[in-house]
Structure 1
């Protein structure tokens, strides 16, 4: 069978992104100029330019957040993934690890996606994941702390440096670090644009009256939750709250209420991301919702006390008064309140991770067998990770394991079906290959999407190895579905019988090859070199079993038995097909070992 291939074109950054940024920057500059005119002596507000400034500034802010998160994930995502996998041995380490990883890659949603993958692969329990999700909430507050520094004057400098870095160095890391610095500059520049656009509102009484209503916690929480759900960024909501506070529009209690609402609204992102995903993903998203909502409920009546504590620990400027003092003090106070709120919630609930997990499992139970669908679909190929190739390639590994489960079922059932001459079982095994073919096609399509991203040399090599592994696994399924199923039907349709000693020989080789297939799948799914070497070292064992089986068949051939020639041909054919399956399992293992593929015959 021909192997599936596709070409990999080098990725290029879309020029449209730069054009969009330039256009939005022009909008921001025009809006800032208009706002300055308003302040210089005109009492009327130019709503058109204000709207352009607010929209353009928000677009720049969100674009910067996205760009910085993508760059940070590309730079540190793979290392953070390893840290998550290794350091979540208990709930406390899970929380610390979740906070650290989220702070580094600047995306709690990516942390949650990684966690779901580990749960699905059996590397992490749902209870362990609860601690990581709690910690991710703490890590997500780092962005607000960063925004509160308000280093606006350096925004354009950071954009310029970030833009120039890829041209100054051809290294892949320079491009990512440049994108990260430019994203940070866009965040601060977007905040400046929004701040300048809102400046005329300082004297607009209806707006000031509306801001007063936000001091009522219910209103502030609802407004922030809806807004965060729409733009799907709690950091953006908190950032806008800090921008408004820097203009003196927002008091600290109102800012805290907005931060609470942002924590609830960000759950929309997790729930939307879990639609159509395995139940493990839905449970993890539900844990996120329960934790955030429970935290807000606990603190709802303590906003004033939290505000007093934050005022005590935050820098104060008593020499100022009125809106000038609010503008100087409240931005940092909001950021501190956001951090303290999430840290305190983690401390409060960290002892209840098991209860959170059981509640999620009770609310989202496994489907009864009678309700399960048998239309196979990919479980792990998450399109949200396509922009981060290192993480997307890990999902391919998990999906190959998912595909391998069907192949292992075929392998486990084929020899008993042949020896028992069970025609129905052979038909069921044949139908299982449809699942294998479906998953194989989805894996190849997903790898094709990854290949359109900008890949490092190592990622390109890994992609090609996973492509080969998927093809090898599909070839094993085809060998079972066509050759071995056909041999089973031939045995049923003829008068040939397999003797008891020959059955033991076939079963022995079948068990050994099945063990090799299981180890090869483990090697690919976990990138496990030890498992890969286990498979390649089994060649001598397989050869010895095959030679012993061939000697046995030779003795049968000279024996005076009925139908010995057809029986010999059939049995030798089955032995050869089992050896061929081992050959493909060994090829799969070699994709992990890094050896050249296909140079050595089984």
Structure 2
């Protein structure tokens, strides 16, 4: 199976953002026209403004996050893997990575992958998840600056940058700047649309209900669960505060609710995932809910402290002062709340982990499912191709574990095994075929995203590698298993010297397969070159084995012709397996891939 990904197209890349931009411009024009001739509220015009502004706001956030992860995703993954040596470093790293890639969900998905791969314990991951909550507050801080007057300038510059250079990184930075501009422009559209509500008493009466903390928490939790973005909920609260609709205590309650609502995203993402993913999602729920419960009765005290540390505008009064001060205060309260919770609960990381393990225990051996499933191919990472491709490498290693088991068992089965042993090895290839299909489908989904030229080449190399690995599984399942059955049918007994020759070649080819898997899974050029350097060793062993078989052919031994044919076939199939292992290794290095096979 082969295909080529469609190269990135500028029109495709910008069409969603331009559509949202036109929608927002239409809303503003309609609002200006509708409000100029009447003092009453035109609900149609207001609805257009609110929904258009919200579309701009959410589209801008998505575009900004996608650009940030495209620029920094791979480096952030490496940082996350290397700097989580303890819970405190994990919290700092989680905060930094989430702030850069603007997505606590992506951070959590990466953490689950590290747990599944054995690179991180669940207790270590608790610190990263706590830190991710801190990093997610950066967006609210950014929104609170309210640099609305520069929104259209940022959109214009961001749109123009891709046309000014061919450098991929500059295009991503332009995309990020345009996304940020859309965020601020969307806030302006929503603010202008809500302006008539300042004198609409039923709406003001409804907003007073948010002064009750329980109502504010519930409303924000439900809204966040629906749109699956705590940053967006907090941003909308800041927009409402800029119109004087939301007081600081109400804004804090909304931020609390956003922290609870975002747990729904984590729980939904864990459905159908390995138990490590469900436990990580549960830790996220425990931490966020415990934090809200801890601070729920202290909202007024937190509000007073935030007012003390935040800038004030004493020259203003009434609604104007609220609109000037509260947006920054809400952002500060959101950051302070998550920072304090991390400092309070980080010492309980082990207890959080043990509680999750107690609630979601490992399945008893008798209840284990025998249907193999992909462990690392997470759909949420498809928006970040560099991270999705990295997961494909891990899944190839997972698939390779089954192939290595088949490889380890096949030679003893050929030499001494019975039909049942050979049948068991043959059936193991079903797992290999299942994982191969899932990896191919996942690569197909990645190919439909916007890929850089480097990512396109990497996808095609991984496609070649997984196909080579599947070919090795097929060689063992069909050719080598059949050689074992042929030995049983012919009643051939392989002599001890010949056994040693075949086992020596089998061990060398097995080493090459292990190194090839390491090369692909870790993108390890040293391991890849170790495989290609074995070419002469494999050739020497194979030639020695062939010479040994030739000497046996002229010897007076019973069944020497069937034995010779069988043993030569085994040697040729092992050489073929090495050929595919070498091809796998060469997919890691473009220079090696250009060499003759």
- TM-score band by shorter chain is over 0.9
Q: Which residue of 1 aligns with 2:29?
A: 30
What SS class does the counterpart of residue 588 from structure 2 fall into? Answer: helix
Deviations 1:465-495 (CA, angstroms, capped at 9, x unpaired): 1111111101101110111000000011112
Out of 324, 331, 336, the residue aligned to residue 328 of structure 1 is 324
Q: Distance in 1 between matches of 2:516 and 2:352?
A: 36
Quick check: 1:386–1:450 contact (8 Å CA) kept in 2? Answer: yes
Indicate if the aligned counterparts of 1:421 and 1:489 stay in contact, CA closer than 8 A: no
Asked whether the equivalents of residues 421 and 491 of structure 1 are also in contact (C-alpha less than 8 Å), the reply is no
Task: Answer yes or no: is 1:281 the counterpart of 2:277.
Answer: yes
Residue 86 of structure 2 is matched in structure 1 by: 90
1:67 aligns with 2:63: yes
Moved more, 262-271 or 384-393: 384-393
- Give the alignment of 1:135-174 within 5 angstroms: 135-174=131-170
Give how far 1:31 is off: 5.0
Tell me, yes or no, if structure 1 residue 6 matches structure 2 residue 6. no
Mapped contact 1:587–1:598 kept (Cα < 8 A): no
Matches within 5 A, 1:409-428: 409-428=405-424
| Farther off after superposition, 251-260 or 427-436 | 427-436
- Hey, what's the Cα distance between the residues in 2 that align with 1:458 and 1:545? 38
Take 1:357 and 1:32, find their aligned partners in 2: how far apart are those partners? 52
Q: Is the 8 A contact 1:31 1:197 kept in 2?
A: no
Q: C-alpha deviations, 1:33-56, integer Å up to 9, x for none? A: 157538xx71x2222221221111
How far apart in 2 are the matches of 1:32 and 1:178? 30
Moved more, 552-561 or 222-231: 552-561
For the residues of structure 2 that align with 1:529 and 1:169, how far apart are their CA atoms? 32
- The residue correspondences of 1:529-568 to structure 2 (distance < 5 A) are 529-568=525-564
- CA distance in structure 1 between the aligned counterparts of 2:474 and 2:380, rounded to whole angstroms: 32
**Distance (whole Å) between structure 1 residues aligned to residue 257 and residue 29 of structure 2:** 32
RMSD: 1.9
Deviation per CA, 1:188-235, whole angstroms, max 9, x where unpaired? 111111111111111122222222221211111101000100111111
**1:489 paired to 2:485:** yes
C-alpha displacement of 1:90 = 1.4
Q: Any idea what the Cα deviations from partners look like across 1:159-202, whole Å, max 9, x if unmatched? A: 11111211222322232111111110110111111111111111
Aligned length: 595
Q: Which whole-Å CA distance do the structure 1 matches of 2:231 and 2:299 have between them? A: 20
2:380 to 380, 384, 388: 384
Length-normalised TM-score, structure 2: 0.96
Q: Residue 376 of structure 2 aligns to a residue in which SS?
A: coil
Instruction: Map 1:139-288 to 2 at 5 A.
Output: 139-288=135-284
1:498 CA drift (Å): 1.0
Deviates more, 1:237-246 or 1:507-516: 507-516
Aligned residue runs from structure 1 range 285-304, under 5 A:
285-304=281-300
Stretches of structure 1 that go unaligned for 5 or more consecutive residues are none
Q: Which residue of 2 aligns with 1:456?
A: 452
Q: In the alignment, which residue of structure 2 is the partner of 1:355?
A: 351
Does residue 407 in structure 1 map to residue 403 in structure 2? yes
Find the counterpart in structure 2 of residue 54 from structure 1: 50
State whether residues 32 and 193 of structure 1, in contact with CA within 8 Å, keep that contact through their aligned partners in structure 2.
no
Task: Give the Cα separation in 1 of the matches to 2:514 and 2:359.
Answer: 34
Q: CA deviation at 1:377?
A: 3.0
Structure 1 residues 252, 447: closer, same or farther in 2, change over 3 A? same
Q: CA deviation at 1:420?
A: 2.1
Determine the C-alpha separation between the residues in 1 that align with 2:594 and 2:545. Answer: 25
CA offsets, 1:337-383, max 9 Å, x none?
00001111111111222222222222222223333332333332223
**Which ranges of structure 2 fall in alignment gaps of 5 or more residues?**
none
Instruction: Specify the alignment match of 1:396 in structure 2.
Output: 392
Q: Deviation at 1:457?
A: 2.3
Q: Are the counterparts in 2 of residues 380 and 396 from structure 1 also a CA contact under 8 Å?
A: yes
2:580 to 572, 578, 584: 584
Shift of 1:261: 0.3
CA contact (8 A) 1:88 1:94 kept: yes
Map of 1:124 onto structure 2: 120
Mapped contact 1:472–1:585 kept (Cα < 8 A): yes
Equivalent residue in structure 1 for 2:103, among 107, 125, 140: 107
